[in-house]
Amino acid sequence: MSSFDRIAHDHILSQIGAFPARGMIREWLRAGVVENGRLHRTEEGTPQGGVVSPVLLNVALHGMEMAAGVRYYPTGTQAGRVVMGCPVLIRYADDLVALCHTRQEAIDVKARLAGWLAPRGLAFNEDKTRVVTLDEGFDFLGFNVRRYGNKPLIKPSKAAVRRIRERLRTEFWSLRGANAEAVIKRLNPIIRGWAAYYRTQVSAETFGKLDQYLWELTYKWATFSHANRRTSWVVARYFAKFNKARQDRWVFGDRRSGAFMHKFSWTNIVRHQMVTGAASPDDPALTEYWARRRRKSDLPVNRTARRLHRAQDGRCAICKVMLLPVEDRPQTPHEWEHWLATTRKTIDVIWDHGTPDTAEPRLIHVRCQTSSGTALQPAKQPSGLA
């Protein structure tokens, strides 16, 4: 679907009903878009990338599950689970996948959804819409879902791997002539962000292959930068056990600053935990559930910071305020890249050197670190956290 561009304004307004800000939303829809100094009218659709566009799309597509024939048990021990024999529909923005029991059921679901989308000014993009078996597999949100034998596995898709390889190659090409520290500073957020997004599924093998490709790129960059030097000199200068926490002598680093390049495989695989029932982040009654869920989830940071984050219940050892925002974690590799880069600038690990016997690290906000040496609260394992 090309939902953002084609969505019907009248349907959105009818879905909103008597919502207090209905008039403002109507004006938003018809305000137009200024791009490169030119005004483009918006007689239909909503600008893709606009702040309010995802919300309006969710309003317009509300009820899609019911239209597809999805039903849930309302009460009992199975409450919140899909009724046996029903299809399952997963949607993210205007991308969706319907999981059915037979090919005919999939065709019927597609036909029902096509009729349901028409009044909303929407239609399936036939070039991107397929009916496949689980043995053939399909790509969704950068992942490939496919059954191998009797076991369904979710892995990074070939297209996603191809894109990250292309980006790494392009970045190294643009950094020819730069020093090692600049290369590490540019590449680390990209590597960490991509690994953080794909760490919830079967990605260990892909991480290993990308590490090999990354080594080839760093070696090629190093030999190009010192074309008149012997290979042994280049290797000794740029590859060593820069990461003291790992017994790996093939880590690319900068001997002057001590900085080193992260590896994809250093990001631990952490399985996604299913959301309880129909719990929604927008339900005020479930605020504590979502806060606890986010605190318990392992962050893709180094081991020390991760351990301290758990021990301190996610709070700064000085001001006791949450170290990181409580909203949802990033949803794409690019968002993870920026989130991790920002996090490294806002929190830091420092040591409380009260006495040689009690010296231990603390995780704090960078802004809370003062020259006066504010008293640190002891780190302890909080109750209620795994």
C-alpha span between 108 and 103 (Å, rounded): 9
Q: Minimal CA–CA distance to 226: which of 236, 234, 218?
A: 234
- The residues, any chain, with a CB within 8 Å of residue 226's CB and separated by 6 or more, are 233, 234, 237
pLDDT digits (tens, 9 = 90+) for 5-19: 667 787 778 887 777
pLDDT digits (tens, 9 = 90+) for 176-228: 989 999 999 999 999 999 999 999 999 999 999 999 999 999 999 999 999 99
pLDDT value for 82: 87
C-alpha span between 293 and 273 (Å, rounded): 9
- How many helices (H) and strands (E) the chain has is answered by 13, 11
pLDDT digits (tens, 9 = 90+) for 144-172: 999 999 999 999 999 999 999 999 999 99
Band (375; pLDDT cuts 50, 70, 90): very low
* Both tokens assigned to 271: 């399985």
Q: In terms of pLDDT, which residue wins out, 255 or 2?
A: 255
pLDDT value for 327: 62
CB 125 within 8 A of CB 139: no
C-alpha span between 268 and 196 (Å, rounded): 9
The answer to whether residue 383 scores a pLDDT higher than 50 is no
Q: In this structure, how many other beta carbons lie within 10 angstroms of the beta carbon of residue 183?
A: 24
pLDDT digits (tens, 9 = 90+) for 342-368: 777 777 777 665 545 555 777 887 777
* Both tokens assigned to 86: 């029903």
pLDDT value for 77: 81
pLDDT value for 49: 61
CB 96 within 8 A of CB 89: yes
* Both tokens assigned to 163: 């894109």
